[in-house]
Chains A and B, each alone.
Chain A
């Protein structure tokens, strides 16, 4: 009987160790919630808004940055793709039908194997086949309008003029939030419903990933749990709109300066009001 007790205790301790390690030895990343469909009203959208929207889809729903980043080396960087497009179309390996940069960019999204940058093809295909899928399919499923705004963003990224024209009366669907492969989420469109509370803003903008605020325990940015006691509302507003203008000592300029574009004015004030109450 004593042996049995020893075995049980030993097994429980082992299981306990694995559990504790998974809790305390590993950061508890909270994956983004499943995306929800939103209607995008693109009618009358300005070019600047088109580019902002394109960037959001590029980094969010499109999941492009999963591979097109400077860390993993899985796919070529696209900073100058607009400039290289002509060169690629003239390459003997090019199998597509595009005759302009805009068409080339569109084609590369829906038929990635039309031209594969050397060294980035599927293994064993001599760069004749791309590992990328048609972004209109699978879990990405970009709509026609979303494809066009991504093309607009890529043109702008390369320093080219945006030539994309959104058909009049277009609406598309966007699934808010990034795929769970990444840990943060970008939300806000010109047509989304307003956030009801500051807590919802904190949650939707993932403030807690970096800050200690509310029940969040992020450690990358300054502790905001008593920020209202030491900072004015003007300071707080500026810190959200232009976070890198004045940095808290000991912290690096890492906060995105885009929150001003993502929040309605009333939401911004709601958030400032909430933070000012954190005494």
Chain B
């Protein structure tokens, strides 16, 4: 036992060293960047700087882009950036729900929550070191392969980049105090201090992400510069550019869903590897909670996506049409497949999980109807508006649009489908919650009837908004109708959840839940959620970046490298897949390490006896 503790101490000591090295690596690289952005320190003037220290983008030629070791610069930066983003999303998301779970544990005084929160944060610690290493690598790749662009950007954002580097120290320190102080800061005021550190950790993490988001959204919707890209000196204007807040919101929600899915995969991995029923029960509960977190964040995510897209249209109609009606239009069909997979897998996991309860048989009969609606909604979302057809097919079809399926290809049908998919997923969650409960309050029937009426009225409203306003008015109203559809969905979910809380207040359990009583295939559903989410993030990263087309910074700083072309979807999918395979390999390594670190080998005759 003592040797185990020493082993743990050694591991922690190594972690500290990793932290220090990683922080110095990232800090150092950012300092180099910041210094080089200053014309005084720049050995060569890469960006045009006038006498009044005004920064403007240079007009580059293909020869201005360094070639190193025969690397394809774009693919190198693409892969490293994407890997960094996956890990960063994970390590930023986990502390958010760890903080919430810890707070629930404090509120309920249920130790189980505290233990689970600790296990969640433990998984993210190794990932944190890898995030920092990849961040350093990305910085060097960008600087070495795109020096002119980086000097232009770091000239504009030098203050925020320096603050970012400092905040990274703050993030590291708060994370390690939060993690290593977990068992020390227990009980009474100490627990409050610990929770406050968690809040601080999340605040620093969010600020870090928002700063990095400012740089990338500036490249999409530059602000604080004139039509020629000349920087006015107003850094805040450049940070607070048009797409900054929509991306901040979208990424925050997506990170939580992604983090939940990765923790879910970890729990599934541990569940499948578990040798005792007790372990299975523990990791089943962990997987359920992680999946619950992922679904909870997944539900509002499409709305954040719509907000982001609407803002892209508002910023530049041309950019908006390029995304949804141009070369990227087909990408959203792939996105529909992925989101459909996510919803179906997450629901399937919930339905399998109902086997934990003795009372679930009461609701099993409804599952098939929910499944039919979700699959039908998925198929509508999946239906393309137009297809590239052969002449024979065109003639057979009588035009580019199918008589019946064509109308399902446009956004009103898809908005209706996604709202229904979300609503029926919410019904799955409600049924799961009820499966093991027997209400004890009076007027349960009234509550149920109100819920049924609410869902029915809401679904009718969503249909009317989707059909009347979607097909019988012009485009402006088609888009406008999506907002009341979203509000309808959110109101139904919110009110029915409240009603559920009231009518199941003080409810009795049918029987204790049988944690661990879930088939292995359900764990594969958790893996499917994690893989699909990772791949989806990679794909959406491609389209977000690809929207700039042949511009480093939209309309003001042109990309004249040989890789300035927009790749085909197949090409992009291949790069994303390679990234996902590397990410998954690293993740499995992390899971394996976390397993190895808890194993002990007892050797005989190796050590001298003293």
Contact = CB atoms under 8 A, between A and B. Distances in A.
Given A15-B577, A34-B549, A66-B325, A123 B588 contact: no
A274 B37 CA distance: 53
Contact of B326 (A16, A74, A181): A181
Contacts of A33: 565
- The secondary structure that dominates the A interface is loop
A187 to B, nearest CB: 16
Contacts of A15: 531, 535, 577, 580-581, 584
A67 B573 CA distance: 29
Contacts of A132: 317
Given A11-B584, A31-B565, A31-B568, A220 B391 contact: yes
Contacts of B566: 31, 180
Interface string B512-530: 0000000000001001100
A168 interface: no
Contacts of A10: 524, 527-528
A73 interface: yes
Nearest to A130: B317
The 10 closest A-B pairs by CB, nearest first: A181-B326, A22-B573, A34-B550, A31-B566, A181-B322, A23-B570, A219-B390, A27-B388, A3-B272, A19-B577
B321 A14 contact: no
Interface string A97-114: 000000000000000000
Interface residues of B, number: 60
B577 A29 contact: no
Given A27-B388, A180-B550, 14 more contacts: A4-B273, A12-B581, A18-B532, A27-B387, A31-B566, A74-B475, A119-B474, A133-B318, A140-B318, A181-B322, A219-B391, A220-B391, A250-B395, A252-B395
Contact of B317 (A31, A131, A137, A180): A131
Contacts of B588: 4, 7-8
A138 B565 contact: no
A252 B394 contact: yes
Contacts of B574: 19, 23
Interface string A229-255: 000000000000000000000111010
A180 B318 contact: no
A120 to B, nearest CB: 7
A34 B565 contact: yes
Contacts of A221: 391
Contacts of A23: 570, 573-574
Nearest to A140: B318
A122 interface: yes
Given A12-B581, A19-B577, A29-B569, A66 B551 contact: no
Interface string B217-249: 000000000010000000000000000000000
Nearest to B592: A4
Given A137-B227, A179-B322, A252-B394, A22 B570 contact: yes
A183 interface: yes
B452 interface: no
Interface of B: 227, 269, 272-273, 313-314, 316-318, 321-322, 325-327, 330, 333-334, 337-338, 387-392, 394-395, 474-476, 479-480, 524, 527-528, 531-532, 535, 549-551, 554-555, 559, 564-570, 572-574, 577, 580-581, 584, 588, 592
A179 B577 contact: no
Contacts of B390: 219-220
B337 to A, nearest CB: 6
Nearest to B568: A28
A67 B317 contact: yes
Contact of B528 (A14, A120, A182): A14
Contacts of A35: 550
Contact of B330 (A26, A123, A179): A26
Nearest to A141: B555
A213 interface: no
A138 B568 contact: no
Contacts of A251: 391
Contacts of A16: 577
A28 B566 CA distance: 12
Contact of A138 (B314, B330, B480, B555): B555
Nearest to B333: A26
Given A19-B577, A74-B317, A138-B555, A180 B338 contact: no
B321 A74 contact: yes
A15 B572 CA distance: 13
A8 B314 CA distance: 43
Contact of B334 (A26, A141, A180, A181): A26
B559 to A, nearest CB: 8
23 contacts: A3-B273, A4-B592, A8-B588, A15-B577, A19-B573, A22-B569, A23-B573, A23-B574, A26-B569, A31-B566, A34-B549, A34-B550, A34-B559, A123-B476, A131-B317, A139-B554, A179-B318, A179-B326, A181-B325, A182-B326, A220-B389, A250-B391, A252-B394
A30 interface: yes
A66 B573 contact: no
B325 A72 contact: yes
B326 A180 contact: yes
A180 B227 CA distance: 21
A142 to B, nearest CB: 13
Contact of A11 (B313, B392, B531, B554): B531
Contacts of A219: 388-391
A179 B573 contact: no
B532 A27 contact: no
Contacts of A179: 318, 322, 326, 549
Nearest to A181: B326
A51 interface: no
Given A15-B531, A21-B337, A139 B569 contact: no
A67 B559 CA distance: 26
A180 B577 contact: no
A62 B561 CA distance: 24
Given A3-B272, A26-B330, A180 B573 contact: no
A250 B316 CA distance: 41
A11 B394 CA distance: 38
A1 to B, nearest CB: 9
Contacts of B524: 10
Contacts of B334: 18, 21-22, 26
A64 to B, nearest CB: 10
Interface in A164-193: 179-183
Contacts of B394: 220, 252
A63 interface: yes
Nearest to B566: A31
Nearest to A210: B391
A67 B476 CA distance: 13
A29 B566 CA distance: 10
Contacts of B318: 63, 66, 133, 138-140, 179, 181
A8 B524 CA distance: 11
Contacts of A254: 391
A67 B564 CA distance: 25
